[in-house]
Structure 1
Amino acid sequence: MEREQQSAAVIPDNYTYPFVLKACAYLFSLSEGKQVNAHVLKLGFELDTHICNSLIHFYATCGFLDLAHKVFEKMSERSEIS
């Protein structure tokens, strides 16, 4: 049974990343947050408004307003939150 649990892959979706980015922002974990950003790009979620808003919040919280602004500028759609 243990082997079955190890082989089961958990695939993140567009609901996963905002929670992970919020945790990274809370912990000021810049390196981990950048890795999450890379996963977002790799899996094609860079157009998701909620994820982009979470990235903006993450970078701004960590003090990297230039990176937050880059994410904002690349957004194809923006919400009131953006």
Structure 2
Amino acid sequence: MSNTIDEKVVEMKFDNKNFETNVKTTMTSLDRLNEKLQLRGSEKSFQAIDSAAKSVSLTVSYRMSNTSGSDSQLWV
């Protein structure tokens, strides 16, 4: 087995001005998206849906006729 040593030089540069410009652009885009989604007050909408769902009864009455002509109810 050969003993080969790889030497690599890495250069890294951070351009803060470019970074801040791109962050500002991203924040502006997110603000516009948030406005278009109209999320303000959405928690109240979900609370209203929750409240309405709690007042729904899944009990349904069915009238069935049997051969004797008397009515009976089936509760589901």
Instruction: Work out which of the two has the higher radius of gyration on C-alpha atoms and give 1 or 2.
Output: 2
TM exceeding 0.5: no
The structure with the greater share of residues assigned to strand is: 2
**Band the TM-score falls in, shorter-chain normalisation:** under 0.3
Given the two structures, how large is their TM-score scaled by the length of structure 2?
Answer: 0.23
Task: With the length of structure 1 as denominator, give the TM-score of the two structures.
Answer: 0.22
Higher relative contact order (CA 8 A, sep 6+): 1
The structure that is helix-richer by fraction is 1
